[in-house]
């Protein structure tokens, strides 16, 4: 039997992540960045007096994006060293520049600095996607800010809130994540040129003991690569604490959207809110009537993966040896890109969900009608007292009526007739119209509408106006 595709394919690549994020962590982007770093190093060294001529740099620039991968691949089989294999391959194309490629540097110069560049590019991409999602969520919150719904504590009916206010709870978590992402993005520093154990000894040798020029070299290379700040001290590698802090931001986003989609899945079970369901979509291979919350489930599934990967970064940081150990290398090749690819997918799916959420107001109202009579008993009792009733007697009557109504609902599966019982009880002296007024759901949502409006106005809109972003052209899923 012939197998068409015998090789394993990563679902993050094949099914979930966007082309933009895949490009950031692609091999081509990585190795082109290596060459940009070698050119930046040569330019900076030349400007500080090392014997490097313009022709050598022009030769390197000519082949910057034309990578001879086959040469590098064969050389790596021989040397078991990816950086030296690519130095060799670049040198094959640039024979004049070969003597000065990677001059004074160690592998971490291209490896770690490229990681930081990719992390910065990925964070910037996520930043824009978060802004798009926050915009979509804010529209949802404002649209339904006045729509009463049952609040839940312990997933048991509690005081009313509004659909929009509940959305603000989801959005506030994401706002905190966005602020953490911006903090990490702003404080992300370049490793720079630090040498084999971080002492810059090789560069000090090249510049004949001139400490000032070594410091300027570090600064110039960072500026050429678009960084204002450099990590002040490193071993051979930058501290893996940075990886942990970045992945903690991604874990935070995952935690927020996992919680949000947990709520959406429960609401879909209650038939109150439903994620988008396309005309030809199949909910179950066996049960044709089903409308499963597959988008929210996919988000939750990928989010758990990201949360778990954060712990991987923590263990990598904790187990580093002195100035460098290599047992982080293979691990980081997986954990960093896959965390970003997964969150990238999660944000795209979440945007799709919030761009098409369906709210079933009649079903929400039906659930309120089932529970509100119990919640309104305090207001009913106060209204009856104002009409001359005895509070203690009325309290006892409400207790008895409530128990009978609850028994009717739970044991007999019938409707809640508490209001009818109260209307028929002459001790309350309240008409059906009186009771209907006391049961208007909007009286029981407190300041939920006002809180929603204020939150969006004072917390979300300033963020959407402060940072650059463009509306998504589409919110379709890959699959």
Q: Which of 154, 269, 285, 474 is catalytic?
A: 154
Q: Where are the alpha helices (DSSP H) in 48-106?
A: 54-62, 69-79, 82-93
Report the C-alpha gap between 55 and 96 in whole angstroms: 8
Tokens encoding 445: 């949502």
248 is known as an active-site residue? no
Tokens of 332: 């980081």
**Cβ neighbours, 10 Å, residue 296:** 24
Return the half-sphere exposure (C-beta side, CA atoms, 13 A cut-off) of residue 291.
Answer: 15
154 is catalytic: yes
The DSSP bridge partners found for residue 230 are 190
Number of H helices, E strands in the chain: 20, 4
What are the helix (H) ranges across 357-415? 361-375, 377-386, 391-412
CA atoms within 13 A on the CB side of 429: 12
Catalytic pick from 81, 211, 284, 437?
Answer: 284
Please list, in sequence order, all residues whose beta carbon lies within 8 angstroms of the beta carbon of residue 240, skipping any fewer than 6 positions away.
313, 316, 317, 320, 328, 332
> Using CA of residue 190, residue 196, residue 198, residue 199, what is the dihedral sign?
negative
Contact indicator for 245, 251 with CB cutoff of 8 Å: no
Measured CA to CA in angstroms, residue 221 lies from 50, 191, 238 at distances of 14, 10, 16
Long-range contact pairs involving 331-334 (C-beta distance under 8 Å, separation at least 24): 332/115, 332/240, 332/243
Q: So which residues are the catalytic ones?
A: 154, 284
């Amino acid at each position: 039997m012939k197998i068409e595709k015998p090789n394993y394919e990563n679902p993050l690549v094949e099914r979930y992540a966007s082309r933009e994020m895949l490009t950031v962590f692609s091999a081509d982007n990585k190795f082109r960045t290596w060459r940009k770093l070698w050119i930046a190093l040569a330019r900076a060294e030349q400007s500080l007096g090392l014997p490097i001529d313009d022709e050598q740099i022009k030769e390197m620039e000519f082949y910057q994006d034309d990578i001879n991968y086959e040469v590098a691949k064969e050389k790596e089989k021989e040397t078991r060293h990816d950086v030296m294999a690519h130095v060799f391959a670049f040198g094959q194309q640039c024979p004049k520049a070969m003597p000065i490629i990677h001059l004074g540097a160690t592998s971490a110069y291209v490896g770690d600095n490229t990681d930081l560049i990719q992390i910065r590019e990925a964070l910037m991409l996520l930043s824009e996607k978060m802004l798009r999602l926050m915009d979509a969520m804010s529209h949802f919150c404002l649209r339904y800010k006045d729509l009463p719904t049952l609040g839940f504590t312990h997933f048991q009916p509690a005081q009313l809130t509004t659909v929009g206010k509940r959305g603000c709870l989801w959005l506030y978590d994401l706002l905190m994540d966005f602020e953490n992402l911006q903090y990490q993005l702003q404080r992300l520093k370049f490793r720079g040129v630090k040498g084999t154990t971080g002492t810059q000894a090789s560069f000090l040798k090249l510049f004949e003991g001139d400490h000032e020029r070594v410091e300027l070299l570090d600064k110039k290379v960072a500026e050429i690569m678009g960084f204002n700040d450099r990590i002040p001290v490193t071993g051979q590698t930058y501290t893996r604490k940075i990886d942990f802090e970045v992945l903690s931001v991604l874990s935070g986003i995952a935690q927020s959207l996992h919680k949000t989609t947990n709520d959406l899945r429960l609401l879909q079970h209650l038939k109150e809110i439903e994620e988008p369901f396309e005309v030809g979509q199949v909910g179950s291979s066996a049960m044709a009537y089903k409308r499963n919350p597959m988008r929210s489930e996919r988000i939750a599934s990928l989010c758990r993966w990201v949360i778990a990967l954060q712990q991987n970064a923590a263990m990598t940081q904790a187990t580093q040896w002195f100035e460098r150990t290599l047992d982080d290398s293979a691990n980081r090749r997986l954990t960093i890109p896959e965390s970003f690819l997964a969150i990238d997918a999660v944000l795209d799916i979440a945007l799709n969900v919030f761009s098409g959420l369906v709210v079933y107001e009649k079903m929400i109202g039906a659930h309120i009608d089932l529970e509100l009579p119990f919640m309104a008993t305090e207001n009913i009792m106060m209204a009856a007292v104002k009409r001359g009733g005895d509070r203690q007697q009325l309290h006892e009557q409400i207790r008895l009526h409530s128990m009978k109504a609850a028994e009717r609902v739970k044991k007999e599966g019938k409707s809640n007739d508490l209001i009818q019982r109260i209307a028929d009880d002459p001790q309350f002296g309240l008409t059906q119209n009186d009771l209907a007024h006391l049961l208007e759901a909007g009286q029981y949502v407190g300041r939920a509408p006002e809180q929603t409006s204020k939150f969006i106005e004072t917390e979300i809109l300033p963020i959407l106006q402060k940072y650059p972003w463009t509306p998504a052209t589409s919110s379709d899923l890959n699959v």
